């Protein structure tokens, strides 16, 4: 029963590849989105907080300068008029106004509009009070101006300093929240990476197991088919040899005996006919034709299945066959036999002889060679047969030659040997057969 051919694993492998690629693309998109969110968080919160804190520190530094200046103004005891600090206050005002404007554009999203408005109002109120104090000083009322500084400006400066400190603390808290969020994103991405790697390794493992299992089934089926093919080839070759043996014996025995009997009758009739008569000449001519036909039938019988293989073995058969094919083809065949010969009989002798016969037939039909070399080597470990010509070499387009090579390879495989067909040293075709000695001896009989 022929083995069942399973479904090809190609569809499953393509599906696994698509799933793996989809997982990779999906995970890449997820990682890209997480990284983009992380970058956006750093840009919108962390970087803005840092720049905003720089401006708040700048404002705090200006407030400290104002605090020191107001302390000096109150401690001068009239030695310096209040109006003497007007230019310094103007420079600090411009710097604080610029810092507040930049800080307003960088204020974090966590800050409410009321907090921002309170900062602006406190800033405006402080500088309104400062303008009133300097107006009083310009009008000659330094005492009222100092009272204005002590009672109105210093409390507002302290309020501004407190507000700036709270904003700095709020920025620090925002940075801590952002840092926590960033750590959470990193932890989540790390977990997802581990999960993805595990899933990918699992998919690769499952795909590999499926591929290995499919390959094992396919190779098992191929091995079974190869074994069945070898068995079929052996049966076909056995059937062929049996048929050729039967035809050879029929030709040799039946037709040979008939032609021999006809030849005897013709010879006897020829003797009874008058000497020099036309009948005697005709009988003699027919007897010669009969003898020629008998010789051809015997040659054909030997070509189909040499009885000598069964009677004398491979060595004697090759010794007889080489001169015969040389005479028939007109090709100069150099035959060389080396090593101590050992028995090669039975099916082994038939296979080796058929390979030699097919190689020489291919040479005479296709090579256009003028010479050939046949070497039979009896080595201690193996038997070697080499046939080489100096013709035109292999022709890939010849169907008959291709079928002949297939038949030779099948016979070499049945012998458990190796068959090499390629270019020889004389630029023609070389056929080389190597058969282990134990396989030759085990196939004998």
Concatenate the DSSP letters of all residues of 157-188 into one string: HHHHHHHHHHHHHHHHHHHHHHHHHHHHHHHH
Nearest alpha carbon to residue 146 among 67, 82, 60, 50: 82
Query: Same domain for 179 and 326?
Result: no
Place of tokens 């049996």: 242
Least confident range of 40-54, 160-174, 411-425: 40-54
280 found inside a domain: no
Number of H helices, E strands in the chain: 13, 5
Does residue 190 form part of some domain? yes
Instruction: State which of 191, 211, 231 marks the end of a domain.
Output: 211
Give residue-wise pLDDT tens across range 15-24.
777 877 777 7
Contact 185, 37 (CB under 8 A): yes
Q: Which of 211, 240, 267 is the endpoint of a domain?
A: 211
Q: Name the least confident of 69-73, 215-219, 382-386.
A: 215-219
Whether residue 271 is contained in a domain is answered as no
Tell me how many domains the chain contains.
Answer: 2
pLDDT confidence tier of residue 397, bands split at 50, 70 and 90: very low
Residue 408 pLDDT > 70? yes
CATH code of 412's domain = 3.30.565.10
Specify if 176 maps to a domain. yes
- Does residue 293 sit within a domain? no
Domain boundary among 189, 211, 233: 211
Least confident piece of the model among 20-24, 140-144, 162-166, 396-400:
396-400
In terms of residue numbers, what domain contains 420? 308-442
Q: Are 318 and 259 in contact (CB under 8 A)?
A: no
Does residue 335 lie within any of the structural domains?
yes
Structure tokens at 242: 């049996």
Whether residue 150 sits in one domain with residue 28? yes
């Amino acid at each position: 029963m022929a083995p069942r051919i399973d479904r090809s694993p190609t569809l499953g492998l393509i599906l696994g590849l698509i799933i793996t690629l989809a997982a990779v693309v999906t995970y890449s998109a997820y990682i890209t989105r997480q990284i983009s969110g992380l970058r956006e968080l750093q840009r919108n919160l962390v970087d803005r907080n840092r720049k905003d804190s720089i401006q708040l520190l700048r404002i705090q530094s200006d407030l400290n300068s104002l605090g020191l200046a107001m302390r000096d103004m109150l401690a001068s005891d009239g030695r310096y008029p209040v109006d003497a600090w007007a230019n310094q206050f103007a420079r600090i005002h411009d710097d604080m106004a610029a810092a507040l404007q930049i800080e307003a554009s960088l204020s974090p999203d966590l800050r409410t509009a009321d907090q921002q408005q309170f900062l602006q109002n406190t800033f405006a109120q402080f500088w309104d009070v400062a303008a009133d104090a300097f107006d009083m000083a310009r009008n000659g009322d330094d005492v009222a101006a100092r009272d204005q500084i002590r009672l109105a400006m210093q409390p507002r400066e302290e309020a501004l300093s407190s507000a700036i400190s709270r904003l700095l603390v709020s920025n620090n808290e925002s940075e801590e929240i952002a840092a926590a969020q960033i750590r959470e994103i990193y932890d989540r991405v790390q977990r997802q990476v581990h999960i993805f790697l595990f899933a990918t390794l699992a998919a690769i493992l499952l795909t590999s197991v499926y591929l290995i299992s499919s390959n094992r089934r396919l190779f098992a089926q191929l091995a079974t088919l190869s074994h069945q093919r070898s068995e079929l080839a052996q049966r076909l070759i056995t059937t062929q040899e049996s048929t050729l043996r039967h035809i050879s014996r029929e030709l040799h025995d039946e037709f040979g005996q008939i032609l021999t009997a006809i030849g005897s009758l013709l010879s006897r009739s020829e003797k009874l006919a008058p000497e020099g008569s036309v009948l005697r000449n005709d009988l003699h001519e027919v007897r010669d034709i009969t003898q020629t036909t008998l010789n051809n039938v015997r040659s054909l019988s030997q070509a189909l299945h040499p009885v000598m293989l069964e009677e004398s073995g491979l060595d004697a058969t090759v010794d007889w066959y080489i001169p015969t094919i040389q005479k028939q083809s007109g090709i100069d065949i150099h035959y060389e036999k080396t090593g101590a010969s050992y028995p090669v009989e039975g099916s082994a002798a038939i296979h080796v002889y058929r390979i030699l016969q097919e190689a020489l037939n291919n040479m005479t039909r296709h090579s256009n060679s003028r010479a050939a070399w046949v070497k039979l080597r009896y080595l201690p470990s193996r038997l070697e047969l080499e046939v080489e010509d100096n013709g035109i070499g292999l022709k890939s387009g010849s169907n008959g030659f291709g079928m002949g090579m297939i038949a030779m390879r099948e016979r070499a495989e049945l012998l458990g040997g190796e068959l090499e067909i390629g270019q020889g040293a004389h630029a023609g075709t070389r056929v080389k057969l190597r058969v282990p000695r134990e396989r030759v001896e085990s196939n004998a009989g």
